[in-house]
Amino acid sequence: MNAPVAREKLAVSELSVFDHPEFKNHEQVIFGHDAASGLRTIIAVHDTRLGPALGGCRMWAYKNDAQALTDALRLSRGMTYKNSLAGLDLGGGKAVIIADPRTGKTDAMLAAFGRQVDRLAGTYITAEDVGISSKDMEIVAGETRYARGTKATGLGDPSPYTALGVFIGLKAAVAHYFGSDDLTGRIVAIQGLGHVGMYLAEDLHNAGARLVVADIHTPSVERAVSEFGARSVDPKTIHTVEADVFAPCALGAGLNDGTIPELGAPVVAGAANNQLAEERRHGEELKKRGILYAPDYAINAGGVISIALAQPGTGDAKVRDKVVAIGQTLTHIFERAAALDLPTQTVADQIAEERLALATR
């Protein structure tokens, strides 16, 4: 039996959907429930102008339904922009399951989620996200053909493709800022050596870069020090290290009022989602300081590209080509931002919106 999440009761009037500040023209918001397994899920479909809405499923011990709804809406709209900018013929959506992934996850709940996704008949395609593994997705995929990110549906773990895209995007940023994409001797400060950060460290090391690393998980730091000759620093100071590039590959909101004035590198290019604590204000702040920022959802799209384009048994050549194109997308963003004197994040949004506006249903 799954452990129920400690829930805060809300007054019914507190859970507005159409008037929610993050609603932003969502096409569908589905609240799904399964009494037998205890599944509580919200599936948000933001925009299907480019194609079916693709976005992962997050399992989290949300304190209340309002918090879960906010996350689903915000993440789902983010996928519309990410998929559009990556040139995929897919719209944006996201699902959340209200449960603690460590104590509340059951096979029955995952299967019930799969049936909820199946009822949408392909309007929404799911995959793994925080709290949901590739193994969990296999259970979901047992109930619906609209699940991706498993070995049976494609290439499995998307992290190596995310890391490849970040590596290519980081080189594009270095080329734009320094005039050459040669990484020999360039210093890169990596924050977070998880699934993506470790692959990135390896690629950068092989390309001749010098690494400074930080992670709260000591064995990962030890590995990067011994295998890639990295220098390790306190996680609290990694953003201040004097380097050519700062690569945030841990959690979101790392670029904020506290850290931006302390940044030690003129280029920020990393995998983390939602790096800017406040998109508009902190994007402008980085620009004002002459720091070149590779917009997070442009540089970290390799994973979603692998999930979207992989076909079982066909290899990964097509996926790799599209991931490598992230470099051109970023160069285009940097050049247009310079020409228009705009923050790079604003330009990324413009390009994504232009493609959406051209889409016919």
Catalytic residues: 94
Q: Min. distance of Cβ 318 from ligand NAD in angstroms? A: 18
Residue nearest to ligand NAD (CB): 194
Pick between residue 38 and residue 148 the one whose CB is nearest to ligand NAD: 148
Distance of CA 77 to the CA centre of its chain: 12
Give the CA-trace dihedral at 6, 7, 8, 9, to 10 degrees: -140
In degrees, to the nearest 5, what angle opens at C-alpha 249 toward C-alphas 244 and 250? 130
Indicate the SS3 state at residue 48. coil
Q: Are 165 and 305 in contact (CB under 8 A)?
A: yes
Q: Min. distance of Cβ 251 from ligand NAD in angstroms? A: 5
Pick between residue 32 and residue 94 the one whose CB is nearest to ligand NAD: 94
Pick between residue 271 and residue 351 the one whose CB is nearest to ligand NAD: 271
H/E segment holding residue 38 = none
User: CA 352 to CA 350: how far, in whole Å?
Assistant: 5
Q: Min. distance of Cβ 248 from ligand NAD in angstroms? A: 8
Q: Min. distance of Cβ 229 from ligand NAD in angstroms? A: 19
H/E segment holding residue 188 = strand 187-191
User: CA 168 to CA 74: how far, in whole Å?
Assistant: 27
Which residue do the tokens 């949901």 mark?
132
Chain residues binding ligand NAD by CB under 6 A are 158-159, 162, 191-197, 214-217, 220, 235, 249-252, 271-273, 300, 303
Pick between residue 112 and residue 147 the one whose CB is nearest to ligand NAD: 147
